[in-house]
Structure 1
Amino acid sequence: MTRCAEALVQLLEGYGVETVFGIPGVHTVELYRGLEGSRLKHVSPRHEQGAGFMADGYARASGKPGVCFIITGPGMTNILTAMGQAYADSVPMLVISTCNRREHLRLGHGHLHELPDQRAMVAGVCAFSHTLQHPAQLPEVLARAFALFGCTRPRPVHIEIPLDVLEMTADGLDLCPRALPAAPAPAPLAIKAAVELLNNAQRPLILAGGGARGAGASLTLLADRLQAPVALTTNARGLLVPEHPLLLDGVQSSAHGRQLFAEADVVLAVGTELGETDYDFFSLGPLVFKAPLIRLDIDPLQVLGAQPAQVGLLGDAGEGLRALLAHVTQRPVGLAWAGERVAQVNALEHASWSPKQSRLQVLLDTIRDHLPQPLIVGDSTQPVYQGALGYRAPSAGSWFNAGTGYGTLGYALPAAIGAKLAQPARPVVALVGDGGLQFSSAELIAAKEAGAGVILLLWNNGSYAEIRDYMNAKAVPLVGVDILTPDFGALARSCHVSHHLVRDLACLRELLGQLGDCAEPVMVELDAAAFLAE
């Protein structure tokens, strides 16, 4: 007999899933029966939140959905934060959980791991949450999930399987993956209207976000053809190469960036929410576009969002950019609005940085330039906030973090583990503060166990320093921000991981040169006070 759990694993294999993150529990053991003999690799985090963050990092680095097996009740409440992060950043994540037997649901009789309504609880952080009532529903529901990941705005999907359904026979089910629809392209009439605005513009501007991931080549071609400056959000970094003359630094939230926006006579926003943490981090007020706004987005709610478009292009970013390229005319290279204005605004951005910010920027550039094509995964920590202003990623998908958007702590280490498992040949750096690491430090031993050679770069300033600075600026008493930290060397060694304490840039450069092909996880503790005083 083929049980429902075994049929699930076979279907996941058919859709190209290779890795599953989860912690076995009494309510998920049937799922693990299905894993036996399959091609799926199972990775055991030390907390379900870690499983979700690992799946998030894996999805971003691989382009495939991250998949989790999670127990009923506490497992699902533990993973909600990770699902919220993935929801905010449009990351495809498939969370498969169990729930109590169908005859026990929503009765409140005190069964193990019981919740009043688990599906309803999870629904707010996913595209949809579905309770499987019979194995016969499994092929259709999984197909819906993978269709959503590929041709709409990707967000977490939750499928819960009651314990009795998990054990039911799935004999006779068609376990071949279904043909999935392609991502839609914008309507030709809308493309025509956008092309007319772009071809008549003298000062076009492009704003690109994470929805343009995978469309870097087309975005670059369009920017070159229009001679349009390009501003990239955190999740879009690397879509243009670092040395591109039209690439703006992270000026979206600065006064000089706003001035550039005001000078544009048409703005093309591609795959971006135009949200606060990317475009108003310094509280200058909501964006106000004087020029016509074109929005290209796969999500209709964004096309008609808080910044309404004069022309809305509803569809996949790559399809839309290619359609625009087919009709947009080439503008002369070297226009003052383009290269010269970009250089001016970038210079103003760099001049506005404090000595501390400039030093943090040197740290980020050192990591990038002394590792071969590094992938940096950041937490909410001071170097990452600086990266939002000045880091130029070497390629698409090589810089992502929790410092914007949902803004959780404890993200970087588990997400970097997932990214390293997806990209084992690349150096993957988890850039974490001493406060943030304490949210998920248990995952360091999970990295060792999984053979994920993550470089954990610990920015140790002995506090929640960003919040401390904010409290100082607001004249709020400093309560709860100066925290006791572990002996991180002892912590690393207890997890069977090597530890290096670094106090200056020269030592960091030398050490990074040795870690480029690191196959085992390693902790590099950077003494923040010594580094900033150098």
Structure 2
Amino acid sequence: MSQTCASYLLRLLEAYGIDTAFGIPGVHTIELYRSLGDSAIRHVTPRHEQGAGFMADGYARASGKPAACFIITGPGMTNIATAMGQALADSIPMLVISSVNRRDTLGRGQGRLHELPGQRETLAGVSVFSHTLLDPAALPEVLGRAFAIFQGARPGPVHIEIPLDLLAAPLEAPAPRPLRVYPPAAPAAAIAQAADWLAGAERPLLLLGGGCADAPQAARALVERLQAPVLTTINAKGVLGQDHPLDLGATASLPAARRLAAEADVVLALGTELGETDYDLVFDDGFRLDGRLIRVDIDPQQLARNQAADLALLADVGQVMHDLAEALPARAGDGRAAAVRDALALEADPELAPYAPLYATLRAAVPEAILVGDSTGPVYAGNFLASLPAPRRWFNAATGYGTLGYGLPAALGAALACPERPVVALVGDGGLQFVLGELATARDLGQAVAVVIWNNQGYDEIRRYMAMHEVPRLGVDLAPPDFAGLAAAYACRYRAVGDPAALGEALGRLDEAASPLLIEVDASAWAQAL
């Protein structure tokens, strides 16, 4: 069938199930848009390419499937690089399609429009791989590589750049034949060895990471079979459901949970990198595993990082959890989870207690919501406090790559992925100012997304960190904008609140109109009301 490279790309994306693309049209990408109106792919225009990447990130985290980004040469790609870095850090699938200058000009430094000395090399550091398409006939192969990673390996952003002279090039190509990749299962001998160690353990412990998000039933079956306490990462919150008695949440940085981990004689770590921002948020390298460690991951390199494994299984985590639950005898509980929960006493912790009413209010007012956070105090606290009924309902940029400006655009991506579910963005007054333009995108989409702005007059987390380290308070006391005026300018609804009751009442009105609802929380008034 005769077509252009750009139109064939759209057909391939449709065949792979891509239904949403985020991008800002430019002179270097207009060929991608020539046939886009006739395709089944929905296009969303953010106000900045970084927003496009964060929206694709939120879409993938909420739905479990990738979206595409259509990005121009040069500045478009450096703009989206931060969002790609966030997705790479958290293993989030994202397909970034960009233009690049004509093949005959690449690497010649002629000062062409949007020219980078090495665009592919610049983006390779925030990609699983970055590829320059030099032959349009190779497009099915390159996309096949991308989706092989999304389906059967540790996912992350993939960047494919297409030279300007190829986008409009005619192409004789067969009908798309999308590749389907199934991740490996663990050998029976490895399952038997792991089951033997776990069955013989006196103090087993499970560590569940984001790799478990697509297999909550298998995770619950395994945990309840083993009756062992569980520590989760932030991206695994909700995998066991709400308030599961064995789920100690993302508390691995706290003393009681660390003692539990150090005393465990067999530890099963599933789909987790065992990294600093989940297990060592106090940054003292104090998380220790002294017992036998069984690690299961889809990435062979990950099996060798951070903590040395005694048994490493390169396999699909969901299948391993199912196989282990089948192989293990039922155990009786030993009370360790309840004892550690009592010792943690999270809601009595003076650092967390001011935020406990926030999460109680969210749970009562929007119990089925997806909660998307920026780097802000309430979200840091929520990583410990929030309990979710299902996976993919809690994600944020407060740890890991840790960028500001993530919450609002990622929440819009989540709302597009799951229109049947309420979405709440939890942002600070400082972080929101990184992406104020995306309020226009929110308005255009007509989504009833709640944007809860925790207004503490600047960068309060950094203020407190400066005080802790006796550093002068410079650059952190920022006067916020008039959020009511901004809401009016962007045709958003607005409420100002200062206590949990007012917040609950405001959230109760979320579905009254198909438009964003900005809820400004006065942090000082909130503290006084408690």
What is the TM-score of this pair, normalised by structure 2?
0.98
Tell me the SS of whatever aligns to 1:306. coil
Question: Structure 1 residues 249, 448: closer, same or farther in 2, change over 3 A?
Answer: same
**Partner residue of 1:34?**
35
Tell me the SS of whatever aligns to 2:268. strand
What residue identity is the alignment partner of 2:304?
Answer: L
Question: Structure 1 residues 429, 352: closer, same or farther in 2, change over 3 A?
Answer: closer
Question: Structure 1 residues 37, 185: closer, same or farther in 2, change over 3 A?
Answer: same
Q: Superposition pairs for residues 274-293 of structure 1, below 5 Å?
A: 274-293=274-293
Question: Structure 1 residues 449, 273: closer, same or farther in 2, change over 3 A?
Answer: same
Distance (Å, rounded) in 2 between the aligned partners of 1:15 and 1:187: 30
Q: Superposition pairs for residues 228-307 of structure 1, below 5 Å?
A: 228-307=228-307
Question: Structure 1 residues 27, 516: closer, same or farther in 2, change over 3 A?
Answer: same
Tell me the SS of whatever aligns to 2:345. helix
> Structure 1 vs Structure 2: percent identity of aligned residues?
52
1:463-509, CA deviations, whole angstroms, 9 ceiling, x for partnerless residues?
Answer: 10000000000000000000121101101111111111011111111
Please say if 1:51 is aligned against 2:52.
yes
Please say if 1:446 is aligned against 2:441.
yes
Question: Which stretch of structure 1 is more off in the superposition, 77-86 or 242-251?
Answer: 242-251
Correspondence for 2:461 among 441, 466, 472: 466
**Partner residue of 2:414?**
419
Correspondence for 2:472 among 474, 477, 481: 477
Question: Structure 1 residues 389, 531: closer, same or farther in 2, change over 3 A?
Answer: same
Tell me the SS of whatever aligns to 1:125. coil
Q: How far 1:308 sits from its partner (Å)?
A: 1.2
Correspondence for 1:487 among 476, 482, 486: 482
**Partner residue of 2:190?**
190
Q: Is contact 1:426–1:517 with CA below 8 Å preserved after alignment? A: no
Cα-Cα RMSD:
1.3
**Partner residue of 2:9?**
8
Q: Is contact 2:407–2:427 with CA below 8 Å preserved after alignment? A: yes
Q: How far 1:287 sits from its partner (Å)?
A: 2.6
Please say if 1:342 is aligned against 2:342.
no
Tell me the SS of whatever aligns to 1:466. helix
**Partner residue of 2:223?**
223
Tell me the SS of whatever aligns to 2:92. coil
Question: Which stretch of structure 1 is more off in the superposition, 486-495 or 516-525?
Answer: 516-525
Q: How far 1:27 sits from its partner (Å)?
A: 0.1
Q: Superposition pairs for residues 117-196 of structure 1, below 5 Å?
A: 117-171=118-172, 173-196=173-196
Correspondence for 1:515 among 498, 510, 517: 510
Question: Which stretch of structure 1 is more off in the superposition, 506-515 or 83-92?
Answer: 506-515
Residue correspondences, number: 528
Q: How far 1:352 sits from its partner (Å)?
A: 7.8
Please say if 1:359 is aligned against 2:354.
yes
Q: How far 1:205 sits from its partner (Å)?
A: 0.5
Tell me the SS of whatever aligns to 2:3. coil
Please say if 1:381 is aligned against 2:376.
yes
Distance (Å, rounded) in 2 between the aligned partners of 1:55 and 1:148: 17
Distance (Å, rounded) in 1 between the aligned partners of 2:346 and 2:378: 18
Distance (Å, rounded) in 2 between the aligned partners of 1:475 and 1:116: 43
Question: Which stretch of structure 1 is more off in the superposition, 181-190 or 346-355?
Answer: 346-355
Q: Is contact 2:487–2:494 with CA below 8 Å preserved after alignment? A: yes
Please say if 1:311 is aligned against 2:306.
no
**Partner residue of 1:78?**
79
Distance (Å, rounded) in 1 between the aligned partners of 2:490 and 2:294: 51
Q: Is contact 1:7–1:34 with CA below 8 Å preserved after alignment? A: no
Tell me the SS of whatever aligns to 1:313. strand
Q: Is contact 2:346–2:384 with CA below 8 Å preserved after alignment? A: no
Distance (Å, rounded) in 1 between the aligned partners of 2:360 and 2:342: 17
Q: How far 1:366 sits from its partner (Å)?
A: 1.3
Distance (Å, rounded) in 1 between the aligned partners of 2:469 and 2:4: 59
Q: How far 1:356 sits from its partner (Å)?
A: 5.2
Q: How far 1:518 sits from its partner (Å)?
A: 5.3
What residue identity is the alignment partner of 2:201?
Answer: A
Q: Is contact 1:152–1:183 with CA below 8 Å preserved after alignment? A: yes
What residue identity is the alignment partner of 1:49?
Answer: Q
What residue identity is the alignment partner of 1:432?
Answer: V
**Partner residue of 2:105?**
104
Q: Is contact 1:55–1:66 with CA below 8 Å preserved after alignment? A: yes
1:47-72, CA deviations, whole angstroms, 9 ceiling, x for partnerless residues?
Answer: 00000000000011111102100000
**Partner residue of 1:322?**
322
Tell me the SS of whatever aligns to 1:526. strand
Tell me the SS of whatever aligns to 2:183. coil
Distance (Å, rounded) in 1 between the aligned partners of 2:62 and 2:512: 18
Question: Structure 1 residues 225, 404: closer, same or farther in 2, change over 3 A?
Answer: same
Distance (Å, rounded) in 2 between the aligned partners of 1:494 and 1:24: 24
Structure 2, unaligned runs of 5 or more: none
Question: Which stretch of structure 1 is more off in the superposition, 183-192 or 314-323?
Answer: 183-192
Q: Is contact 1:356–1:532 with CA below 8 Å preserved after alignment? A: no
1:315-359, CA deviations, whole angstroms, 9 ceiling, x for partnerless residues?
Answer: 111111112122111112xx33xxx32122122222685445212
Correspondence for 1:392 among 376, 387, 390: 387
Q: How far 1:404 sits from its partner (Å)?
A: 1.1
Q: How far 1:511 sits from its partner (Å)?
A: 1.7
Q: How far 1:101 sits from its partner (Å)?
A: 0.1
Distance (Å, rounded) in 1 between the aligned partners of 2:231 and 2:185: 23
Distance (Å, rounded) in 1 between the aligned partners of 2:51 and 2:447: 14
Tell me the SS of whatever aligns to 2:425. strand
Q: Is contact 1:229–1:248 with CA below 8 Å preserved after alignment? A: yes
Tell me the SS of whatever aligns to 1:107. coil
**Partner residue of 1:368?**
363
Q: Is contact 1:7–1:175 with CA below 8 Å preserved after alignment? A: no
Correspondence for 2:403 among 375, 399, 408: 408
What is the TM-score of this pair, normalised by structure 1?
0.97
Q: Is contact 1:143–1:177 with CA below 8 Å preserved after alignment? A: no
Q: Is contact 1:199–1:329 with CA below 8 Å preserved after alignment? A: yes
1:251-277, CA deviations, whole angstroms, 9 ceiling, x for partnerless residues?
Answer: 200111111112211000001111111
What residue identity is the alignment partner of 1:492?
Answer: A
Tell me the SS of whatever aligns to 2:471. coil
Distance (Å, rounded) in 2 between the aligned partners of 1:398 and 1:22: 25
What residue identity is the alignment partner of 1:42?
Answer: H
Distance (Å, rounded) in 1 between the aligned partners of 2:267 and 2:489: 53
Distance (Å, rounded) in 2 between the aligned partners of 1:20 and 1:234: 27
Question: Structure 1 residues 154, 462: closer, same or farther in 2, change over 3 A?
Answer: same
Q: Is contact 1:139–1:175 with CA below 8 Å preserved after alignment? A: no
Q: Is contact 1:468–1:478 with CA below 8 Å preserved after alignment? A: yes
Q: How far 1:195 sits from its partner (Å)?
A: 1.0
What residue identity is the alignment partner of 1:101?
Answer: R
Q: How far 1:29 sits from its partner (Å)?
A: 0.2
What residue identity is the alignment partner of 1:148?
Answer: I
